C-alpha cells in the first residue's frame, strides 16, 4: 500500500505534464502558446482544424472524434489529427475527453518551408512551384481556380503563391526542383 501511495504521489498529473507539441513543417510549438501574427499567412483555412489530444489517442477516442461528424484527414505529431468539418463539429470535438485543444489549420501550413521563407521574404522575385491537392494529385502545368488561372510552368510572384494557398482545394505547395543524376554509388 505504501509503495502504491508513493507511486501515485510521484506520477505527474495532467496539469503537471508538459503540453504536447505540434510538429508542423513551419515549426514545433505548443498550440495554446503559439503567437499568432496578424499576417495573411496565419489566417485559418475554412473547414479545416487540428484536434490535439494530451496523449496518444486511443481507438475509442478516435471513434468518438469521428462520431462528432468530422472527417479525419491525417495524423499530425504529437497526438493530433487534421480534420475537415464545420465549426460546430470542431467545437464538439474540442470538448471530447482527453482533447488538449483545437487549433487552426493555416495558410502557412500549406507551404513547404522554402516556399514559406520565400513568401515571408517579400522579395521582388518569383518561384516555380508544384501544387498538390487533398487527394495527392500533383499539378505542374496549370491550375484553374475561381479567381484565376495560374501557369505553373512559369515562376509565380509572392501574391500569386498566397492566392493559390488560400484555395481550399489545395493541400500543399512546394518548389519545383530540378532532378540531377547522382552517380556516387556506382563504384561500390
* Helix/strand/coil (H/E/C) assignment for every residue in 86-122: CHHHHHHHHCCCCEEEEEEEEHHHHECHHHHHHHHHC
Tell me which residue of 187, 184, 186, 164 sits closest to 174, measured CA to CA: 164
Going residue by residue through the chain, which has 188 residues, state the pLDDT in tens, using 9 for 90 and above.
767 666 656 655 544 568 899 999 888 888 888 655 557 788 888 899 999 999 999 999 999 999 999 999 999 999 999 999 999 999 999 999 999 999 999 999 999 999 999 998 887 889 999 999 988 889 878 887 767 788 888 889 998 898 888 888 899 999 988 778 877 777 66
Q: What is the pTM of this model?
A: 0.79
CA 84, chain centre distance (Å): 12
Sign of CA dihedral 86, 87, 88, 92: positive
| Rg of the chain taking only CA atoms, in angstroms | 21
Neighbours of 115 (CB within 10 A): 23
- For residues 82 and 105, is the Cβ–Cβ distance under 8 A? yes
Spatial contact of 176 and 164, defined as CB atoms under 8 Å apart: no
Residue 175 near residue 112, CB atoms below 8 Å: yes
**C-alpha cell, 133:** 491537392
Half-sphere exposure of 151 (CA within 13 A, CB side): 4
Beta strands 149-151 and 22-24: pairing type?
Answer: unpaired
Amino acid at each position: 500500500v505504501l509503495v502504491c501511495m508513493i507511486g501515485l504521489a510521484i506520477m505527474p498529473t495532467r496539469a503537471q505534464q508538459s503540453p504536447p507539441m505540434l510538429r508542423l513543417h513551419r515549426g514545433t510549438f505548443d498550440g495554446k502558446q503559439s503567437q499568432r501574427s496578424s499576417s495573411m499567412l496565419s489566417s485559418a483555412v475554412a473547414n479545416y482544424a487540428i484536434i490535439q489530444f494530451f496523449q496518444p489517442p486511443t481507438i475509442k477516442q478516435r471513434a468518438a472524434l469521428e462520431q462528432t461528424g468530422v472527417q479525419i484527414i491525417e495524423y499530425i505529431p504529437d497526438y493530433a489529427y487534421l480534420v475537415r468539418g464545420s465549426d460546430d463539429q470542431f467545437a464538439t470535438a474540442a470538448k471530447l475527453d482527453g482533447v488538449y485543444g483545437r487549433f487552426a489549420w493555416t495558410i502557412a501550413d500549406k507551404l513547404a518551408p522554402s516556399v514559406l521563407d520565400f513568401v515571408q521574404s517579400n522579395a521582388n522575385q518569383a518561384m516555380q512551384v508544384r501544387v498538390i491537392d487533398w487527394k495527392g494529385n500533383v499539378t505542374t502545368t496549370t491550375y484553374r481556380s475561381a479567381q484565376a488561372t495560374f501557369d505553373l510552368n512559369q515562376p509565380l510572384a509572392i501574391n500569386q503563391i498566397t492566392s493559390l494557398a488560400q484555395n481550399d482545394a489545395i493541400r500543399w505547395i512546394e518548389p519545383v526542383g530540378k532532378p540531377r543524376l547522382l552517380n556516387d554509388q556506382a563504384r561500390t
